[in-house]
Chain A
Amino acid sequence: MKKPLGASQLVAVLLVAGLVLLPLYSQLTGNVFVLTMFTRIVILALAAASLNLIMGYGGMMSFGHAAYLGIGGYAVGMLAQEGIGSGFIQFPVALAASAIYALVIGSLSLRTRGVYFIMITLAFAQMAYYIASGLARYGGDDGLTIYKRSDFAGLINLSNRVQFYYLCLACLLGVVFLIWRIVNSRFGLVVQGLRSNEQRMQAIGFPARRYRLVCFVISGTMCGLAGALLADNTDFVSPAVMYWTRSGDLMVMVILGGMGTLFGPVLGAVVYLLLEELLSEVTEYWALIMGPLLLLIVLFGRGGIMGLLGRSWRD
């Protein structure tokens, strides 16, 4: 079907183009900081996109998504500490660990709905935070320095800023592409149907919890990838990456950009983190402005930026 290019599609195209061309800008202007900053933004956008899969499309309001950032990060950091520097081992382990954690937490928390689900995912993420703080061998509270970034046998050099940025961007776009396919697949329709009316879906023959759980695990695994990249980016991992406010940040990015839209969370991450950067330049007390701003967004800005741009890119 031919649809006219809506405002939100246009923004998505511009967004991707901007992200792809960013290293060029950084090169031309000699502004290295902007590349560093956007590497972090792209990684957190990946995390937000993964959260959007369960939150926006699946209706599962997880308040513990930052746990995967930590799990992915610690997988890389702990293996590096033990002398296993190959990314071909570190990254699969990071993904697998995230998937297993998601499977366990999901099978417990998906027994409940609504507020319970929010509180339980929050509590389990806090548990992960405390466990990491108790890992004396791996730095405990102080965190773990990673002395050598993941090694991909010369295929790609993560210590090169531009190469690393493009790796992160490729991961982000790959995940968004996967989410796009999933959302329109049989599986995706079932998950969205469950969000819309669970009783009806059960009545026509879908076992709800099974589908939700698989969706939860896919989302967690994707976020584990973001965690691994984040650890390589900062050369450091600490319990703080899974502190609950980080989970809140991710939720805000999703809502701000537009829940249940493909590029909304990416846009949300860019806007939220740039805003944070901007406000902290203006005043040391930037959260004094950010906090009430969130309140206003919730009260008046339903649907996020993508929603404001008119037609959402839902399907």
Chain B
Amino acid sequence: MTEPLLRVEKLVRRFGGILATDNVSLAVLRGELHAIIGPNGAGKTTLISQLTGHLAPHSGSIFLAGRDISRFPAWRRSALGLARSFQITSLLPDFTAADNVALAAQAHDGHSFRFFADARKERGLREVAEAALDRVGLSDRAQVPVSRLSHGEQRELELAVALASRPQLLLLDEPMAGLGATESARMVKLLSELRREVTIVLVEHDMEAVFALADRISVLVYGRVIASGAPAEIRGNEEVRRAYLGDQHVVTRHG
């Protein structure tokens, strides 16, 4: 078996006495869209934060393309091709959409200890930014400050920022959170296009979207992975049913 793009081994993270991540092991293959689902408080965001380096695990390891990145700070993981979107939109509010994306491109284009030339006039960076904005359908909003974008537009911009760094692996933390029906549909369409270009780990509550998009699904309950497999397997898994999907309406419709 070839080395998976992302391999997580026996990851443990506690908060006080609570095991938020309980011996989690995962493998994400190159090219797949791997969804992580689980009820509220299952430790999904905690897991993502450890993958991106915003939170340190107490034990266990994380490998990106075979390389142990468990102790790397967030910015180094990003440099190695790991990009994330935040559950709660986290952009640079006083910058324009184009600036937000261009900065991501800049981060992956050598160091930024350049003090004199106007960065907003660098063709290379601007072109990457335009392409990424175009990809998510925001090109006509490029010069608008983030604080004046709608919530849906901000979610799309999150994606554009992640794309602009040309990642190997995209970690999306609830990209559909807070979106209306039409916006959600747009996002699903966008993700279904993106999954052909990049490996994606998707944390999402919207079950319809998850089962439509995912190649494989891992189910997280109380910090543990109780099942991992293709959507059909997960649907049929007794333990998952009992622990989580027993709640019928969740399977069919969410929110």
Contact = CB atoms under 8 A, between A and B. Distances in A.
B164 to A, nearest CB: 8
A189 interface: yes
B74 A189 contact: no
A214 B52 contact: no
A66 B118 CA distance: 31
Interface stretch (B33-41, B90-98, B180-188): B90-98
B75 A205 contact: yes
A187 B94 contact: no
Interface stretch (A134-142, A166-174, A195-203, A246-254): A195-203
Contact of A200 (B91, B117, B122, B165): B91
A108 B83 CA distance: 30
Contacts of B95: 192-193, 196
Contact of A203 (B74, B106, B122): B74
Interface in B105-128: 106-108, 112-120, 122
B216 interface: no
Contacts of A185: 114-119
A208 interface: yes
Q: Classify the interface of chain B: helix, strand, loop or mixed.
A: loop
A187 B115 contact: yes
A186 B112 contact: yes
B79 interface: yes
Contact of B84 (A188, A190, A203, A206): A203
B103 interface: yes
A271 interface: no
| A interface bracket (residues with beta carbon within 8 Å of B) | 20 to 34
A193 B103 contact: yes
B99 interface: yes
A27 B198 CA distance: 71
Contact of A202 (B73, B92, B103, B115): B73
Interface residues of B, number: 36
A200 B90 contact: yes
A182 B114 CA distance: 8
A200 B104 CA distance: 10
B78 A204 contact: yes
Which of A184, A186, A193 has the most chain B CB atoms closer than 10 A to its own CB? A186
A184 B90 contact: no
A207 interface: yes
Nearest to B81: A205
Contacts of B93: 196-197
A207 B230 CA distance: 38
A205 B119 contact: no
Contacts of B53: 202
Interface string A238-250: 0000000000000
B79 A205 contact: yes
Given A197-B91, A197-B93, A208-B75, A187 B114 contact: yes
A311 interface: no
A181 interface: yes
A211 interface: yes
Nearest to B93: A196
Given A185-B117, A204-B107, A208-B75, A199 B54 contact: yes
Interface string A204-223: 11111001001000000000
Contacts of B90: 197, 199-200, 203
Which of B52, B76, B115 has the most chain A CB atoms closer than 10 A to its own CB? B115
Nearest to A194: B92
A234 to B, nearest CB: 32
A203 B114 contact: no
Interface in B143-198: 161, 165
A95 B23 CA distance: 54
Contacts of A205: 75-76, 78-79, 104, 107-108, 165
A181 B165 CA distance: 25
A159 B115 CA distance: 34
A252 B204 CA distance: 48
Contacts of A197: 90-93
B112 A190 contact: yes
Interface string A139-155: 00000000000000000
9 contacts: A181-B115, A189-B99, A197-B93, A200-B92, A205-B107, A207-B73, A207-B75, A207-B76, A211-B112
Given A189-B112, A193-B103, 8 more contacts: A185-B117, A186-B113, A186-B119, A188-B119, A189-B103, A204-B103, A205-B108, A207-B76
